[in-house]
Every structure is written in structure tokens, then in C-alpha cells.
């Protein structure tokens, strides 16, 4: 009898762990693992910024919420509000591609200098004065 109770207990515990894990996966998913996400568009930072400057609504429907791989020249790297942002040259005097970097990218970011050409993967959110990419990682 005691043995049976133990087995039932263990079974229930296992079930709780599995349900808990599934619940966590479905409801507590904090963003996307950008490394695993399939790239929708590969483009240069200058072409991306030009697309938004030429026709914002068309660019919105083409790029927004898409996973992009973007290459470009680093204009500025800054640390503000506890986060790193890399600005890639957009070809225009003021408009850039603003890349909000993932927190696990610090080691890579510290080695990046303005003028360097890099590739960044992230999710496009739209355009204000700059095109905006979130969840960004530096590609080797």
C-alpha cells in the first residue's frame, strides 16, 4: 500500500513538473531567441533606411515584425538606460539604423568601434527618425 502511494506521489510530482514546464513555455516566453529565428530579409542598413525614407507604409508592410540580417558601418555605440544601442550608418546625414542590443551581447559590443562594418540580426519595429531594430545580436 505504502509503495503504491509512493508511485502515485512520484507520478503526480512528475505530472506537475511537466505541466509547469509547458505553462512556463507557453505563457512566460520572454521574447524570441533571435539566433534560432529564421532570417526573413538580408539587407544593408543604407538600403533599409532608404526604403523607409522613400515609402514608409510600403517599408512597414515589408519589414515590420520581420527578422532581418543587416550589414552596415558602425556610426555610434552607446549605453543608456541600462542598455546598449548600436547605430549603423543609414547613408543620410541623420537617419540611421538603431539597433537595441540583447543583454548577452556585452562582450561582443565592447570590441566594436565606430567605422567598423558589422552584421546584426534583429526584429524590425518601424521607423521614426531612424529605422528601429530590437532583440539584436552581433553576427560573426
Partner 1 sequence: MSKITTVIFVLCSWMASYGQKTDQYITRQGQTSFFSYTSVENIKASNNQALSILDIAKKEIAIVILMRAFVFEKALMEEHFNESYIESDIYPKATFEGSIPDFDGSLNDVQTKMIKGVLTVHGVDKNIEIKTKIEKTKEAYAFSGDFEVDIADFDINVPPIVEKNIAKTISITFRFEYMPYEE
Q: Exposed/middle/buried for 59, CB within 10 Å: 0-12, 13-18, 19+?
A: buried
Pick from 4, 27, 107, 111: which binds partner 1 (CB under 8 A)?
27
Least CB distance from residue 1 to partner 1, whole Å?
42
Closer to partner 1 by Cβ: residue 5 or 78: 78
Closer to partner 1 by Cβ: residue 14 or 35: 35
**CA distances in angstroms from 22 to 16, 18, 37, 46, 130, listed in the order given:** 10, 6, 20, 42, 38
Contact 126, 60 (CB under 8 A): yes
Residue that the C-alpha cell 500500500 belongs to: 1
Closer to partner 1 by Cβ: residue 15 or 64: 64
> Binding segment for partner 1 among 11-19, 66-74, 103-111, 127-135 (CB under 8 A)?
127-135
User: x/- string (CB under 8 A) for partner 1, residues 37-76?
Assistant: -----------------------x---xx-----------
User: 26 phi and psi, to 5 degrees?
Assistant: -80, -45
Least CB distance from residue 104 to partner 1, whole Å?
15
Q: Give dist(CA 53, CA 60) in Å, integer.
A: 11
CA angle, 18 then 24 then 27, to 5°? 130
Question: Which residues here bind partner 1, judged by CB under 8 A?
Answer: 26-32, 60, 64-65, 78, 80-81, 83, 85, 93-94, 98, 100, 125-130, 132, 134
Amino acid at each position: 500500500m505504502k509503495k503504491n502511494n509512493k508511485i502515485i506521489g512520484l507520478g503526480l510530482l512528475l505530472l506537475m513538473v511537466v505541466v509547469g514546464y509547458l505553462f512556463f513555455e507557453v505563457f512566460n516566453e520572454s521574447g524570441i531567441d533571435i539566433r534560432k529565428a529564421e532570417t526573413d530579409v538580408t539587407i544593408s542598413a543604407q538600403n533599409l533606411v532608404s526604403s523607409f525614407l522613400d515609402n514608409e507604409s510600403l517599408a512597414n508592410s515589408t519589414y515590420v515584425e520581420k527578422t532581418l540580417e543587416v550589414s552596415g558601418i558602425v556610426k555610434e555605440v552607446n549605453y543608456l538606460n541600462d542598455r546598449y544601442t548600436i547605430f549603423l550608418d543609414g547613408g543620410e546625414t541623420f537617419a540611421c539604423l538603431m539597433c537595441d542590443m540583447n543583454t548577452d551581447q556585452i562582450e561582443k559590443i565592447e570590441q566594436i568601434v565606430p567605422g567598423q562594418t558589422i552584421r546584426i540580426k534583429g526584429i524590425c519595429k518601424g521607423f521614426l527618425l531612424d529605422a528601429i531594430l530590437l532583440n539584436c545580436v552581433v553576427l560573426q
